[in-house]
Amino acid sequence: MQKFDLLIVGGGMVGLTLALAIRKTSELTVAIVDTLPLSEITTEPEVRVSAINIASQQIFTNLDVWPLIENQRLQAYQHMHIWDKHGYGKLDFSINDVAETNLGWIIENAVIRRALWQKAQDDEGITLFTEQKLTSLGMGETEVFASFAQGLPLSAKLVVGADGAHSWVREQMAMPMTFQDYDHHALVATVEVAQGHQNTAWQVFLADGPLALLPLYQDNLCSIVWSASPEESQRLKSLSADAFNKEITAKSDGKLGQIKLQSERFSFPLTMRLAHDFVKDKVVLVGDAAHTIHPLAGQGVNLGLLDAAALAEILVAQQSKHKAINNSMALNQYSRWRRSEASEMIAAMASIKTLFSEKPFNLPSEPVKLLRGIGMSLLNNFSPAKKLMIKQALGYKPHLPELAQKQDILAEI
């Protein structure tokens, strides 16, 4: 039997970040089980991208992963332009509003995962199991036993479910979860924009849901995330390329010029998920295994990366005090911390989605559009509130894990 301190099921962005964060300041041994192969970085951009905020970028920097990402490709943005298609409200955020060089980065998921994987492969304290999926988990008195269909089983003091929204670990442990269908599907694709993306993240709120156009590493390419009802999403997906181009150009008010489809269109349903507890016995959930939120603010990955940084901080503190890393009090501290953050984010996304729906709160649409426009315009011109919103989007929070803080701040701790 192969023995480890920590078994992470899921080698995506969050699971790999957790492993590297654990290894940065401890000698704990880590096993990662994931059979999903690395995606090749081709000349064409991947359609699945993430909006990485400053807190997440700092995590990658502190783990020495950021240079590996930069050596592949990414796109910084210095501006955000948000507007209401059926009103007159708009919001404009800029680096001029805060003392930062960038507001964030749009990075293909494959690029981030490849950089993290490369770093994990170079760490002798991390063992990657990529040939088989696990078939069972068994609880012992002091450790967890995990079995494959063939080959030697594993044992670990703690198991982490980092295996996504349909988590096998969560199902094995019968960890209850709250679900709510957003009644939206997200349609994603790569498009060419005639006027260039202008280092700006664009988002328009339509009657059926938001459309985001996110800048990619070529100045004439954007990644789109178009949230709409399942029926509307299917209609958009089935349109001819020419018809789709005309529709998305019109929906975006021509602000980026003529838009042309450059990739296949993919869609997937959007569901809010929140585990009742992120911990059960000697098993912990992180990332999408613990929570999923609407992508309208692009915060899902950032929330998961903070889970990884927070859990690593707590486990390393336990180990440094010569205490068990599966201590229930320490794990419950993590659960309270991160579940509270996830609950706040879920509530915020629900409020925004409702506010920009066709008939929010079942009120007549015209007065609501007027009030919404007035509110957005006032906010756009009220510097203190605007700065607060930007800082929230950047990931500045009162209780950030140390790994998400800047090095000069870390030096003072």
Q: Is residue 314 part of a domain?
A: yes
Provide CB contacts within 8 A for 379, sequence distance 6+. Answer: 91, 385, 386, 389
Mean per-residue pLDDT of the chain = 91
Amino acid identity of residue 359, one-letter, is K
Indicate the number of domains in the chain. 1
The per-residue pLDDT for range 331-348, each reduced to its tens digit, is 999 999 999 999 988 888
Q: What single-letter amino acid sits at 156?
A: A
Q: What is the pLDDT of residue 241?
A: 98
DSSP code, position 282: T
260-290 pLDDT, tens digit each: 999 999 999 999 999 999 999 999 999 999 9
pLDDT tops 50 at residue 293: yes
> Does residue 194 form part of some domain?
no
Mean pLDDT computed over 182-207:
95
Residue 158 has pLDDT above 90, yes or no: yes
**Amino acid 408: pLDDT:** 47
- Assigned domain for 211 exists: no
Q: What is the pLDDT of residue 354?
A: 67
Q: Is residue 409 scored above 50 in pLDDT? A: no
User: Could you tell me the CATH number of the domain that includes residue 321?
Assistant: 3.50.50.60
Alpha helices in 139-254 (DSSP H): 168-172, 230-238, 241-251
Confidence check: pLDDT of 413 > 50: no
Q: Is residue 55 in a domain? A: yes
Measured distance CA(44)–CA(266) in Å, rounded: 15
In a domain, 248, yes or no: no
Range of the domain at 345: 2-76+102-179+271-360+397-412
Reported as a single tens digit per residue, the pLDDT across 100-153 is 899 999 999 999 999 999 999 999 999 999 999 999 999 999 999 999 999 899
- Which pLDDT band, with edges at 50, 70 and 90, does 371 fall under? low
Is residue 187 assigned to a domain?
A: no
Say how far apart CA 353 and CA 347 lie, in whole Å. Answer: 10
pTM above 0.85, yes or no: yes
Q: Which amino acid appears at position 397 of this protein?
A: K
Q: Confirm whether 14 is domain-assigned.
A: yes
Asked, for residue 403, whether it belongs to a domain, the answer is: yes
Q: How many CB atoms lie within 10 A of CB 25?
A: 15
